[in-house]
Structure 1
C-alpha cells in the first residue's frame, strides 16, 4: 500500500506538471505516454502464435502523434499527415519477410495497437488546443472528472455495492458504484464550470456524463482484454498500480467522445 501511494503521488505530480507547465511539456509527456502504452499492448498480446510488429508499430505511432503535434503546435500543413500512409504500408511489406504462422493477424493487431493505445491520447492531446492556443483547463478538467468518477465508484461501491455491473469482466464493479461515480462527476463538473467557465454548466455536465459512462466502459474493455490474455496488469511501469494502460483505461474510450462533443459545441 505504501509503494502504491508513493508511486501514485509522484505520477500525478509529474502528470499535472506536464499539463500545467507548457504546451511543449504537455506534448512531449503524452507522446511518451502514448508510445509506452502502445508498447504495453504489444507486450501483452505477444505469444508463440501472435507476433505483432513492435518496432514498426511504435515507429508508426510516433509518426502519427508527432505529425499531430506539429500540425497543432507549429501550424504545418495538415496534408503532411499523408506521410503516415507509406509508414502504414511498410507494416504490410515487413510482414512479407517474416515467417510467421498468422501474418494477417499480426498486421491487424499491429494496427490495433495504434488505434487502441495511441489515437485516444491524440484526441486527449487535442483537448488542450480546442481554442487554438494551448489551454490546460480542458485536459485538466478531463483528468479531474476521470479521477472523480473512479474515486466515487470505488468508495460508493465498497460501501453500498450489491448489484454487479459486469461480473464477467470485472467482478468488483457494481451498479451502486457506477451511479456514485456518475453523480460525483456531475457535481464536480458544476464546480469546474464555476472556476474554469468556457462552457455552460449543462455542457460541463455533459462532459462529466460522457467521462463517467464511457470511462467506465473503457475500464471494462481493458479488463476484458486482460482476462482474455490471462494477465493481471497491463505492465509493471508503475509499482503498485500496474501499467499505463491500467491507469488510463477510462481515457481510451472517453477522450475521443469528449473531443467530438466539445468540437461540435465550440
Structure 2
C-alpha cells in the first residue's frame, strides 16, 4: 500500500473519531481535545529531549490536564471561579523541579522548554473551549468548522502544491511548501467554510469566509513554525504515532497557531 493510501485511510479513521467525539456531547468533545493536546505536548517534549534537553514532562502533562479541566468545568457551570486560584500554585511547582532533578540537564533550559510547551500547545487547545461555548452553551458547529477549515487548508495546500507548486514559500524553513500550494489551501478552506455556513448558519457567509482566511493564514504559519523547530534539530517527523502522517505535532501544528487567532476572530464577530 502506497503512502498516499495509508495517509487517506488514517485520515478517514482519525477524522471519524474526532467528529464523533465532538458531536456526541460536550464531555466527549473535551476528552477528544484534551487527548490530542496531551499527545501533542508529549511529542513536543520528545523533540526537546532529542535536542539534548530534559523537560519536566510529568509536570507539563499534569498542569495541562488541570488547566483544560478547570476551564471546561467553568464553562459547564460546574465550578466556582475561586477554584482557578489553585493554578498559580500548581504552575509554580515547576520551579521546584531543578531541586528534585539536580544535575540532570541545564535547569534553565529544562524549565524554559517545559513552560514553552504549555504556552505553545496546551493554551491553544484550551481555546477550543470558548469557541465551542461562544453562545453560552455547548455547540459543536463552530469548532467543527474550525477543524474542517484547517484540514481543508492542509489538504488543498498538499495537492495544489503537488500539481502547481513552483514558487517557494519559505525555502529556508520548509523547501517543499509553495505559494501555489498556499493559495490552493486557502481556496479549499473557504469552500469548506461556506459549506458549513449553508448547513449550519451560526455566522454569515462573509464571516465564515473571514474565519477561513484567518485559519488558512495562521495555520500555514503554524506549520512553518513547527518545521523550523524540526529543522533546528535535523528531524523529519515529530513522531510516528499516526501512520502516513508522522506524529500528532506534525498533524496539528497548523491548528496550534490557528486556534488563538480563530478564537479572537469569532469573539469579535459574534
TM-score relative to the length of structure 1: 0.95
Once the two structures are superposed, residues 245-266 of structure 1 have per-residue CA deviations (whole angstroms, 9 ceiling, x without a partner) of 1111111000111111111222
In structure 2, the residue corresponding to 1:138 is in which secondary structure? helix
Q: TM-score, normalised by structure 2?
A: 0.93
Give runs of aligned pairs for residues 164-175 of structure 1, distance below 5 A. Answer: 164-175=168-179
Cα offset for 1:39? 0.9
User: 1-side partners of 2:7 and 2:52: how far apart?
Assistant: 34
Q: Indicate how the Cα distance of structure 1 residues 147 and 48 shifts in structure 2: closer, same or farther if over 3 A, else same.
A: closer
Partner residue, 2:43: 40
Q: How does 1:22-171 map to 2 (within 5 A)?
A: 22-47=25-50, 49-97=52-100, 98-171=102-175
Find out whether 1:13 has 2:16 as its counterpart: yes
- How far 1:48 moved relative to its partner? 7.7
Give the aligned partner of residue 235 of structure 1: 239
Contact 1:164 / 1:175 at 8 angstroms: preserved in 2?
Answer: yes
Going from structure 1 to structure 2, the CA distance change for 1:187 and 1:5 (only over 3 Å counts) comes to: closer
Number of matched pairs: 266
Distance 1:30 1:48 in 2: 27
